[in-house]
Amino acid sequence: MSKQSKRVFRMYAAWNYQKEIDDLNSASDKGWQLVKAGVFSCKFKKNNNLRYRYQIDYNSITDMGRYIETFREQGWEYVNSTFNGWHYFRKLYDPSQPEEAYEIFTDRQSLEEMNRRWARFAFILGAIEGLMALAEGIWCIDKPRMPSLILALMCVLVSAFLIRGGLIMRNPDSAHRRKGSAAFLPVLLGTVVICGTLSCVLMIMRPNFSMASQADSVSTPMVDNRFIDFEVRYPDNYYLDVDIDAEAPVTISVLNAEGNMVYTVTEKSFHENGIRLWLPAGKYWVSSSYESGYEIKCSLD
């Protein structure tokens, strides 16, 4: 028994909506009629007795009933809408009718208005992504670290993609500028997923600790008191905060697994945040030395 329904997974850039229309028309010619369109997939039902021509409109609708009725009066059957504002219509195909009969926009002005609506949306999203990239970039300049750098590059890529799409939609006649978008879109989405996931995983993997210790007096001086161990899982910049208030000099040191000094400070009063340490992967510990009353705080992120 032949399959009577199927789901097809495809992705289209907004400015490649004509390619999606062509694919829907081609599927209808082969007997596969659209049941429900989606952002990433479409559901089809087998019916060899019908042939449709499809059209897509991008619009923000307040009165959906009136909107659908307007197209129905022109012979268009409403199929469904996606959550991001694309609306799908179809009309029974009559080979004796000219192709112009299956245009949803009867004049160039209407088509240009739809293109402008999406272009505005793309520019707004592109600007937001650009601002996010700028914020992450400033954060990277202040505190360079791998997760922030990955997010900044991801936001730049998405912003460039959206702004390019907006420019294409404002100039729909430049069809050559649309080439490659069908293949690039899944690559872009895959890159966004990978970069976002990688950035989150790297943030989770970063060592993070905060400790505080104090004593009003000390009966016996302490040398190289190992008070916290931590592990670095990947090489990157890590940032140490140190606060010291003591009656006599206190030493705070960071050492690696071989006992080699990575960082050390000896002061009676010391307050420094964001001390950059380049740490290769490995195990480390923090030690302190003191001989009188003290109050120390130490954290790493």
What integer is the mean pLDDT of 4-19? 86
Check residue 218 and give left, alpha or beta (phi > 0: left; psi -120 to 50: alpha).
beta
> How far lies 225's CA from each of 214, 253, 269, 270, 277, in Å?
13, 10, 19, 19, 21
Helix axes 181-205, 146-170, angle to 10 degrees: 160
Residue 92 confidence (pLDDT): 93
Q: Is the dihedral of CA 200, 201, 206, 209 positive or negative?
A: positive
209 forms beta bridges with 300
What does the domain layout of the chain look like in residue ranges?
5-104, 112-202, 209-300
Provide CB contacts within 8 A for 73, sequence distance 6+: none
Cβ neighbors of 58 (< 8 A, separation 6 or more) are 14, 17, 85, 86, 87, 114, 117, 118
pLDDT value for 176: 45
pTM more than 0.85: no
- Give Cα separations from 37 to 43, 125, 176, 256 (angstroms): 6, 23, 26, 57
Mean pLDDT of 273-293: 93
Mean predicted confidence (pLDDT) in 80-104: 87
Q: Is there a contact between 150 and 199 (Cβ–Cβ < 8 Å)?
A: yes
The string of pLDDT tens digits covering residues 239-249 is 999 999 999 99
What's the pLDDT tens digit per position in 208-225? Answer: 999 898 888 887 888 888
Q: What is the pLDDT of residue 170?
A: 78
Residues 6+ apart with CB under 8 A from 122: 14, 162, 163, 165, 166, 169
Give the model confidence (pLDDT) of 242-268 as tens digits. 999 999 999 999 999 999 999 999 999
CATH number assigned to the domain covering 209-300:
2.60.120.380
23-46 average pLDDT score: 93
**Arithmetic mean of pLDDT over the chain:** 88
Integer Cα distance of 222 and 253 in angstroms: 13
| Pairing assessment for the beta strands 294-300 and 236-256 based on DSSP bridges | antiparallel
Token pair, residue 108, equals 């160039």
**pLDDT value of position 166:** 85
Cα–Cα dist 5/7, whole Å: 7
Q: Among residues 82, 8, 7, 89, which one has the least CA distance to residue 39?
A: 82
284 compared with 115, residue with greater pLDDT? 284
